Amino acid sequence: MLTYITENKDKILLAKNGLDPLGITFQTIELDLIEIQSESIEEIARHKAIQAFEIIKEPLFVTDHGWSIPSLHGFPGPYMKYINRWFDPQDFLSLMSRHKDKTIINNDTLCYIDKHHVQIFTTQHKGRFISQVQGEGFSANRVVTMTNDGKSVAEHVQAGNNPFGDNGYWKQFGKWYKSVQH
């Protein structure tokens, strides 16, 4: 059985939305993994996947992401998990208020591991900060839109939609995963 290492309900919903149409099912478990400090999201995901595999010794995948704000020189990068704990949505809006460029880039990474493979899949989505807090959930998700409709990431997730549109790594991973299964 394929296992997704996460407790994040939003990530689980996005995985179901991405993998169900491909006929790929998975279970989820939570593991207390050490998250290394690195500016490379791929390196962080790979490290977590290897740790998890050493524990459960079954095919699994982890996902990780980072947000890059060009007007803030790439901040916060892979440290978004921590920034979401420290900043409330208004903190993000205040931080961005003096910048004309409201662009934010979501960098997503999926790392799959089994006895024979360690495979990384990545995708990138460009969005922008919106002017007011919308929806419930993680701080940044409430003040960022990745779509032309202006709805926040949080609003899309709450509605059961993928706020990143055609999330490329689910298709990449699904195609590859089916090709290596017997």
Nearest-angstrom CA–CA distance, 145 and 153: 5
The per-residue DSSP string of 28-76 comes to: EE---------S-HHHHHHHHHHHHHHHH-S-EEEEEEEEE-GGGTTTE
Nearest-angstrom CA–CA distance, 172 and 175: 5
pLDDT digits (tens, 9 = 90+) for 108-160: 999 999 999 999 999 999 999 999 999 998 899 999 999 999 999 999 888 87
> What pLDDT band is residue 24 in, cutting at 50, 70 and 90?
very high
> What pLDDT band is residue 13 in, cutting at 50, 70 and 90?
confident
Nearest-angstrom CA–CA distance, 132 and 66: 22
Measure the CA dihedral 113/146/138/59, to 10°.
-10
Q: Which of 17-26, 97-106, 168-177 has the highest mean pLDDT?
A: 97-106
Judge whether residue 91 has pLDDT over 90. Answer: yes
| pTM of the predicted structure, to 2 decimals | 0.85
Measure the CA dihedral 76/77/80/83, to 10°.
-20
> What pLDDT band is residue 182 in, cutting at 50, 70 and 90?
low
The per-residue DSSP string of 109-125 comes to: EEEEE-SS-EEEEEEEE
Residue 167: predicted pLDDT: 64
Q: Which residues pair with 145 in a beta bridge?
A: 128
Residue 11: predicted pLDDT: 85
CB atoms within 10 A of CB 50: 14
